[in-house]
Amino acid sequence: MKMSLNLCSSSSETTLCSFKGFGPVAKDFRRICYYSCRKESIRVPNTSIHKALVSGSLIPEQLEGTYVRQKRFKEVVPKLGLVRTLLIDNYDSYTYNIYQELSVVNKLPPVVIHNDAWSLEELLYHIYEEKAFDNVVISPGPGSPTCPEDIGICLRLLLECQDIPILGVCLGHQALGYVHGGHIVHAPEPVHGRLSEIEHSGGPLFDGIPSARNSSFKVVRYHSLVIDAESLPKDIIPIAWASSSETHPFLESSNSVVIPSANGSIKSRHLHINGSSTMQKTANTGSSVNANEKKEKIIMGIMHSTSPHYGLQFHPESVATCHGRQLFENFRDITLEYWGRARSSYPNWEVDYHTAQVFHGNPPLRVNRRAIPASRVDLLNCPVANDQNSAHSRITKSLKLQWRKFDQLACKVGGAKSIFCQLFGSGTAKNTFWLDSSSVEKKRARFSFMGGQGGSLWKQLSYRQIDDSTKNGGHLLIEDALGSTSDLYLHDGFFDFLNKELLSLQYDENDYEGLPFDFHGGYIGYIGYNLKLECGMASNHHKSETPDACFFFADKLVVVDHYLDDVYIISIDEKTSTNTTWLDDIERKLLSLKATADTEIREQSPRLTTLSPMEAGFIAEKSREQYTKDVDCCMKYITDGESYELCYTTQLKKHIGNMDLLGLYLDLRERNPSPYAAWLNFSKESLTICCSSPERFLRLNRCGELEAKPIKGTIARGGNPAEDEQLRMQLQHSEKDQAENLMIVDLLRNDLGQVCEPGSVHVPKLMDVESYATVHTMVSTIRGKKRSDISPVECVRAAFPGGSMTGAPKLRSMEILDSLEGSARGIYSGCIGFFSYNQTFDLNIVIRTIVMHNGEASIGAGGAIVSLSNPESEYEEMLLKARAPANVVLECQKAGLQSDMPTQS
């Protein structure tokens, strides 16, 4: 007996969720319908059943007979191997990985649209009247194909366009089975970020790909739902399977290796015992899967018996899927062969070939259609539009850079800590910044940037979103070097303002020739998590108490090169200025610093405590019981297919009163040195940030290369070398932590894929373990070449917030997290760093951070929830991450690090 799961309605009246164009839709029905409807889902407690029919109001029978395109699509024949793909995005966070693959394979970038961007009439017009596409790919996505808000136009597309090649991935695969009568059921267990060995029956989609146990064909799966094999209609033919009980971590043993190819996919990951690498070769003869074996397997691939429609339950675009690009190449070849056969039957065709870059036409069937630009159609779904022309039309500053270098000076004057404390740390160090590479071992970071209130170009920006949680826009308070303030209302939000400001600056590249670093002055500060509202989120559930963004425009700074021990001083002024007063003054101060200053700053407090945050006096927003209950809720969302991974967090707070906040930061950087640490003091906001983050969010260097370094997977250090190594290896080979990391790597590849040159996104390091003072962490590196028509701020906006702090798919995951978390994350989970006037930037992820605001210290902490999570273990991991900063606060209070001055005045 199969038990029905109503994933699309909170009541028994299923007509409320009927498909657009086929029945009534509730007036308040929104994309996040799962908040109400998932609560009423019936889950199957009996693990021997493992099946529950997922039924929505849209059943295949309602769509039968709607196929109106009886003519064969005869007028389009791809030329010269160029294939034009329409890529339909189901609001997923892996769609642009498919985009990158198709751009290389097709030799043209596909056109990307959301599944609700076009009406059916528009879709058919572009396919049949404009003849704009040769094939269609339907992306993965959260939810179920039974829910209209999850699948959009895709079901109708599959029925109306039976005469063009279509490939569905994951959710698209399920849609192909469902629309023809198959049932969507819960998988035996959710599988996200884990690998399975695939057996297939051969055929054109799997041409050249091995099929057998212990072959090199292992794929990445991200799904909780599957097509019920027993319900398959005669028109749908299964062509690939995976074991229902066997999955694999990416690194299965100490003999496994990672070999990312230039295109970002994994070619092989096997070693002989003696260490020599091999590539397993298996002839593509297909796999003979008998009837009894099929019952124990999950369908991983299907095809339609008469239409060129295919589905893959796994993710060929994942970095860890073997032969992923071959699958896309095979689908391209299927497309070419399909139209080649059609052309031979109609030799008198006149081909009207429009490339994806010159997509045009106005469908006559709908007046208020969404505008499609005449060019850059491949960016239809990019988070922001390029606004360089409007920015350059409001040029306000032409800058001149002056700098001086002091060879091997840093160690002579006590290092970066001594330089900052003596030059900028007097009193409460108000309106100061320090991007502090306090951990430089293994070349994790090289430069530190520091400064305070500077010259005539200095200013401070404080931005707060409006109270309406569903609208962009907010108030920007600007204070200039003379103390004058102005308040602007930004209709289009902070990212738009920052983009225009940076693009309005003119400079001469010759000014910074010879400088080995990328920050030459510009904006330095933070972007808070709530600015996700400007990055595709529909709303913010909570309002932040701190500003949503704060920046200084730094026109004077000191730079320390930790590799070579050099010190630089930098000044930017108006182009006409010849003033060197600041450079002369800071040079004199630098050269007069004492070599012993580092030990004279203050006596270090002893290392006293390793208490839990609550034992250190912090009050947790969530009790242990509530936290574990929320983790369990996250896991249920994952089971129902709403997310692959949810980064659930909470806040811990403590009243601190007056305290030597700079002393607090110095203790934090000593106890928990990190490559992307930071000190920021915004005195007018009574706000000080002490950050010891080990994670880079995103960097753009002057060569146009983007780099992200997400962290997922954390474990405490051991008490002795043997225990420490054992714990490191435990993390390295943890299936759960590998799954967490892989999901975020694929998400960051997607984010970079939106703004990078096709084929340039790659993963030079996957799942490396890095060791810090208190924890081991699993870190990956993703890189890509920025497209020339994309601005730096657009790159950040495409990837913000960092995927390691949201989960995947990003938008749906953030919606779920907003509904569960009790308050705004504020600065935590955002990013700190710089936007240089020369169009480079470097930003961290705000974790391992103490935020002091109005006499209260707050620490955010959490972890990634996946299907393999244990609620109690997740709670303990949250405490582990908060322990080091919480104990620093306690120790500073015990040591009596009190100040007679107001805390942050």
How much is the pLDDT for 79?
54
Note whether 417 and 510 are same-domain residues.
yes
The answer to whether 597 touches 414, Cβ cutoff 8 Å, is yes
What is the total count of domains within the chain?
Answer: 2
Do 304 and 445 share a structural domain? no
Confidence of residue 295 (pLDDT cuts 50, 70, 90): low
Q: Give the angle subtended at the CA of 142 by the CAs of 138 and 144, to the nearest 5°.
A: 80
| Contacts (Cβ under 8 Å, ≥6 apart) of 770 | 442, 444, 694, 776, 777, 778, 779
Over range 516-523, report the average pLDDT.
Answer: 96
Pair (232, 326) in one structural domain: yes
In a domain, 49, yes or no: no
CATH number at residue 794: 3.60.120.10
Closest CA to 859 of 623, 653, 624: 653
How far is 516 from 570, CA to CA, in rounded Å? 13
Q: Residue 159: give its domain's CATH number.
A: 3.40.50.880
Q: Are residues 550 and 621 in the same domain?
A: yes
Within-domain flag for 792:
yes
Q: Of 394-398, 443-447, 600-604, 627-631, which range is least confident?
A: 600-604
Q: What percent of the chain has pLDDT over 70?
A: 77
Decide: residue 657, CB within 10 A, 0-12 exposed, 13-18 middle, 19+ buried.
exposed
Domain annotation covers residue 547: yes
**Across the chain, what does the average pLDDT equal?**
81
The predicted pLDDT at position 444 comes to: 79
User: Is residue 324 domain-shared with residue 457, that is, in the same domain?
Assistant: no
The verdict on residue 604 lying in a domain is no
Determine the pLDDT at residue 429: 81
Give pLDDT tens digits for 37-94: 333 332 322 323 223 333 333 444 444 434 344 444 444 445 556 899 999 999 999 9
> How far is it, in rounded angstroms, from Cα 165 to Cα 309?
6
- What whole-number distance in Å separates Cα of residue 285 and Cα of residue 868? 35
The pLDDT-based confidence of 609 (bands split at 50, 70, 90) is low
Judge whether 734 lies within some domain: no
Q: Are strands 775-785 and 705-709 parallel, antiparallel or unpaired?
A: antiparallel
* Average pLDDT score over residue span 283-309: 71
Judged against a pLDDT cut of 50, whether residue 708 lies above it is answered with yes
The answer to whether residue 420 scores a pLDDT higher than 80 is: yes
| pLDDT over 80 (residue 27) | no
CA-based nearest residue to 372, from 98, 112, 97, 756: 112
The residues near 391 (Cβ < 8 Å, ≥ 6 apart) are 499, 500, 502, 503, 504
Q: What percent of the chain has pLDDT over 90?
A: 67
Same domain, residue pair 493 and 623:
yes
Tell me what pLDDT residue 426 has.
80
Out of 38-52, 258-272, 403-417, 468-482, which region has the weakest mean confidence (pLDDT)?
Answer: 38-52
**Predicted pLDDT at 252:** 65
The answer to whether residue 358 sits within a structural domain is: no
Cis peptide before 801 (omega within 30 of 0): yes
Q: Alpha helix (H) ranges present in 64-193?
A: 95-106, 120-124, 148-151, 154-160, 171-179
Banded pLDDT at 395 (limits 50, 70, 90): low
Q: What are the φ and ψ backbone dihedral angles of 530, each rounded to 5 degrees?
A: -70, -10
Question: Does residue 357 lie in a domain region?
Answer: no
* Mean pLDDT on 721-749: 93
At 345-373, the pLDDT tens digits run: 433 333 333 333 333 333 333 222 232 22
* Alpha-carbon span 63 to 57, nearest angstrom: 11
Residue 253 has a pLDDT of: 43
Return the higher-pLDDT residue of 2 and 677.
677
| Residue found by looking up tokens 């999901």 in the block | 743
621 and 475 fall within a common domain? yes
What does the alpha-carbon distance between residue 21 and residue 855 come to, in Å, rounded to a whole number? 56
Q: State the Cα–Cα distance between residues 220 and 169, nearest whole angstrom.
A: 12
The residue with greater pLDDT, 882 or 273, is 882
Q: What is the DSSP string of 334-348?
A: HHHHHHHHHHHH-TT
Are residues 498 and 431 part of one domain?
yes
| Same structural domain, 332 and 428 | no
Domain with 162, as residue range(s), is 85-249+296-343
The answer to whether residue 39 is domain-embedded is no
Rounded average pLDDT over 683-691: 95
Indicate if 422 and 330 belong to the same structural domain. Answer: no
Predicted local confidence at residue 158, as pLDDT: 97
| DSSP letter assigned to residue 314 | S
**Residue 422: which pLDDT band, with cuts at 50, 70 and 90?**
very high
pLDDT digits (tens, 9 = 90+) for 849-873: 999 999 999 999 999 999 989 999 9
pLDDT at 650 over 90: yes
Question: Of the ranges 286-300, 444-458, 623-637, 701-715, which one carries the lowest mean pLDDT score?
Answer: 286-300
* φ and ψ at residue 155, rounded to 5 degrees: -65, -45
Q: Which residues of 738-760 are buried (b: 16+ CB within 10 A; e: fewer)?
A: bbbbbbbbbbbbbbbbbbbbbbb
For residue 204, which of 309, 82, 342 has the smallest C-alpha distance?
Answer: 309
Task: Report the pLDDT value the prediction gives residue 195, as an integer from 0 to 100.
Answer: 92
Instruction: Assess whether 335 and 406 both reside in one domain.
Output: no
Phi and psi (nearest 5°) for 885? -65, -35
Weakest-pLDDT range from 70-79, 201-210, 246-255: 70-79
Q: What pLDDT sits at residue 80?
A: 56
| CA distance linking residue 755 with residue 867, whole number of Å | 31
Instruction: Give the residue among 501, 479, 483, 499 at the shortest CA–CA distance from 547.
Output: 479
Model pLDDT, residue 46: 32
Residues 333 and 403 in one domain: no
Q: So what's the pLDDT on residue 369?
A: 29
pLDDT surpasses 70 at 374: no
Active site residues: 170, 315, 317
pLDDT band at 668 (very low <50, low <70, confident <90, very high): very high
